[in-house]
Amino acid sequence: MTRAYNFCAGPAALPQAVLSEAQKDLLNYKGRGLSVMEMSHRSAEYVAIAEEAEADLRELLNVPSNYKVLFLQGGASLQFAQIPMNLLRGHSTADYVNTGMWSTKAIAEGKKFCDVNVVASDEHNKFRGVPAFDTWQLNDKAAYLHYAENETIHGVQFNYIPDVKVPLVADFSSSILSQPLDVSKFGLIYAGAQKNIGPAGVVLVIVREDLIGEVLPGTPTMLDYKVAADNGSMYNTPPTFSWYLAGLVFKWLKHHGGLSAIAAINQRKAAKLYAAIDGSGGFYHNPVIKTYRSIMNVPFTLLDPALEKTFLKDAEARGLLNLAGHRSVGGMRASLYNAVPEEGVDALIAFMQDFQQKMG
């Protein structure tokens, strides 16, 4: 059976080599007589799997030793609440940048816990870029500044790390591990796994250790980063299979040369797809300002929206799956995460050109 190319925004494509390896381990983990899904999270075998995953991730991202790496649950969406619960630390206000749907959701949740100061918003431009940094209304008394590094739905990505006085908090759900990152610039980074890390069920939090330990009154024990950190993310039963599979993805990345190597491929993939869209004479269109175009999620529309259904059906027939845009914005979207091979992007471009010839 041949596998299709999967452009889903999430849960997203996983490397075929990783899936094959997981398949081997599924019934009988390394000959131990049981599945990795059937192991106690306290067993020596599983603790080794968990610790190795963390060590590999630290190596890939070059995480400084004064940062905790946490494997949590509740997805990136729970982080929208867990972040203020943990990082307000007696402050009454926090800064947020609004560059799309996910920042908007983080802002709405943040408002339940503090005065949210939206330092800048691109909403009036329909989220086509990042508002110029010199226009941001920053507040030095803010507990932190939150932004979404890559807006998965609008396809808008920061091309710089904001330089602010307060701890920087960033949602990297759809861009983590796509290129090298200077973790030391951040107070906290978080990412739901199901885009560029592994299967759904685990969310990664990397947090500077001096920022944790002072939660809002009433914060559930399960949502206290310090409790998670002190217990190696095993205060209760962690999502063992998702954590294990994320570990395999980290090994796959290391095997393929780490983040600089994958970044070069990601840049190529995105560049050729944008070039194809821009070169289509308007048949396809991406609205994002060029300098803020995402290398992970490429939304595009068809000149004639009536052709969308046929486009998706014909694409599927060619083994190109999940190209529909998010239900909130419509159109098309190709997510080009690490596990989407360059040949997949080539196949997509060839299909798009054929479709235009046929319909244009």
Ligand X SMILES: *Cc1c(COP(=O)(O)O)cnc(C)c1O
Encoding tokens for residue 324? Answer: 């529909």
Phi/psi for 55 (5° steps) reads: -60, -40
Q: Judged by CB under 6 A, does residue 75 bind ligand X?
A: yes
CA–CA–CA angle 270, 260, 5 (5° rounding): 40
Q: Give the residues across from 118 on adjacent strands.
A: 96
Q: Judged by CB under 6 A, does residue 301 bind ligand X?
A: no
- Please report, to the nearest 10 degrees, the dihedral formed by the alpha carbons of residues 187, 260, 279, 282 taken in order: -20
Interaction mask 195-214, ligand X, x per CB under 6 A: x-------x-----------
Q: Judged by CB under 6 A, does residue 233 bind ligand X?
A: no
Q: Judged by CB under 6 A, does residue 7 bind ligand X?
A: no
Among 4, 11, 73, 77, binds ligand X (CB under 6 A): 77
Q: Judged by CB under 6 A, does residue 148 bind ligand X?
A: yes
How big is the site for ligand X, counted in residues (CB under 6 A)?
13
Stretch that binds ligand X, among 39-47, 81-89, 169-177, 267-275 (CB under 6 A): 169-177
Query: Which is catalytic among the residues 56, 171, 252, 269?
Result: 171
Pick between residue 208 and residue 333 the one whose CB is nearest to ligand X. Answer: 333
CB of 304 to ligand X, least distance (A): 29
Is residue 202 exposed (0-12), middle (13-18) or buried (19+ Cβ within 10 Å)? buried
Q: Whose structure tokens read 């885009």?
A: 195
Report whether 229 contacts 70 (CB < 8 A).
Answer: yes
CB of 77 to ligand X, least distance (A): 3
CB of 331 to ligand X, least distance (A): 17
Site for ligand X in 87-106 (CB under 6 A): 102
Active site residue 269: no
Over the Cα atoms of the chain, what is R_g?
Answer: 21
Among 98, 99, 104, 173, binds ligand X (CB under 6 A): 173
Query: C-alpha 85: how far from its chain's center?
Result: 22
CB of 294 to ligand X, least distance (A): 10
Phi/psi for 87 (5° steps) reads: -105, -5
Among 6, 98, 104, 152, binds ligand X (CB under 6 A): 152
Query: Which is catalytic among the residues 25, 56, 95, 102?
Result: 102
Among 13, 18, 49, 76, binds ligand X (CB under 6 A): 76
Among 110, 187, 192, 239, binds ligand X (CB under 6 A): 192
Active site residue 195: yes
- Shortest CA distance to 194 belongs to which of 203, 205, 181? 203
- Shortest CA distance to 334 belongs to which of 347, 348, 316, 346? 348
DSSP state of 293: B
CA distance 126 to 161: 22
Among 82, 86, 139, 174, binds ligand X (CB under 6 A): 174
Pick between residue 30 and residue 327 the one whose CB is nearest to ligand X. Answer: 327
Site for ligand X in 15-34 (CB under 6 A): none
Quickly list H helices, the chain: 16-27, 44-61, 75-87, 101-110, 193-196, 225-230, 240-255, 258-278, 308-317, 342-359
Active site residue 30: no
Q: Judged by CB under 6 A, does residue 171 bind ligand X?
A: yes
Active site residues: 102, 171, 195
Binding site for ligand X (CB under 6 A): 10, 75-77, 102, 148, 152, 171, 173-174, 192, 195, 203
